[in-house]
Amino acid sequence: MITIATRESALAMWQANHVKSALEYAHPGLDVRITGMTTEGDRNKSSPLSRIGGKGVFVKELEVALMEGRADIAVHSMKDVPAELPKGLILGAICEREDPRDAFVSKRYASLDELPDGARVGTSSLRRRVQVRLRYPGLDYPELRGNVDTRLRKLDDGEYDAIILATAGLLRLGLADRITGRLSPDMCLPAAGQGAVGIECREGDKRVMELIEAIDHSATSLCVRMERSVSQALGANCTLPIAAHAILDGEAISLSAFVSDIAGENRISVHERGAAIDGEAIARRVGAALLAQGAADLIEGA
C-alpha cells in the first residue's frame, strides 16, 4: 500500500488521482490511497501570499504528514514547492508537464491589448503582476486569492475585468473553454515548475522511491530541476517576483530567468542555451549571472 497526502481543492485532488492512476498502471495490484488535508494557504484566502509565508503555505502540512509517517508521498503543483525542502524529504519524481504558460481569462475582452486603462486584472502572483504591468502599466492589478472556481466566480460576478491563471490548472479541470488567450513566455515568463506535478517522499525510503521512479518523466524532471536550481541560487520565496523556464529541444536546452524588485523598477533577465547534458551547469551559471547582475542587492533589499 502507498498513501498520498494532498490538498483538498479540486485541482489538487485531480493531481493526486492522476498520480494514483499512474502508479496503479505502473504497478498492477498496488493499493494506492489518498488522504486529503487543508493547508494554511487554503484556510487563509484573504492575505497576500507574500505576507503569510509564500507559496510554501500550501505544502507544509503535507510535509508534516510525510515526516510523521501518516503518508508515504505528497503530491504538489511544482510551482508551489519552495526551493529548499525540509531535511529528510526529497523530490522523488516529477510527472510529465502540461502547458506551463499563464492564461488570460475574461468574459468581455479578447486580450490584454483590449483592456481600457484602469481595468482590473486579478492575480495572486507577484511574478505575473510585475511582468504584465511592464507591458500594460495603465491597468489595475488587485490581489485575487482562492481556488480556481472561486477566482472564476469572482470574474463572472464582475469583481474583475480579467484574471490571470495557470493554463495547466484550467486544462486539468476541464475548463479549457474559459481560456481567452495564453501569454507567451516572452511576455510573462512562467514560474519555476509551473505546469508540472511533483511527488515528494522521505529520503531513504527505498520502497517508495522505487515505486514512484516508474512515473518520473525525465524531460520534465530535467527542466523543472534546472528551474528550481535558479530559485535555490536566489533563495527564492514569494517576497520577490522570480521566474525560470527551461525548454528541452532534442539534445539542446535553453533556460530563461527573471527577477525584479516588488515594484518592478529594477529587473534582471538572463538566458542561456546549451547541451541538455550540461543542464545542471547551465542552471548554476544562470543563477550566478542573476546574482552578479544585481539580484543579490534586490534580495537584500527585500
The residue written with cell numbers 502599466 in the block is 137
Instruction: Give 179's contacts (C-beta < 8 A, 6+ positions apart).
Output: 103, 104, 105, 167, 170, 171
Q: Is 275 exposed, middle or buried (0-12, 13-18, 19+ CB in 10 A)?
A: exposed
Asked if 123 and 141 count as a contact pair (C-beta separation under 8 A), the reply is yes
Asked if 198 and 12 count as a contact pair (C-beta separation under 8 A), the reply is no
Q: Which of 31, 42, 72, 80 is catalytic?
A: 80
Minimal CA–CA distance to 192: which of 126, 124, 252, 243? Answer: 243
CA distance 36 to 75: 11
31 is an active site residue: no
Q: 2-7 and 73-77 as β-strands: parallel, antiparallel, unpaired?
A: parallel
Coil vs helix vs strand at 99: coil
Report, as residue numbers or ranges, the catalytic residues: 80
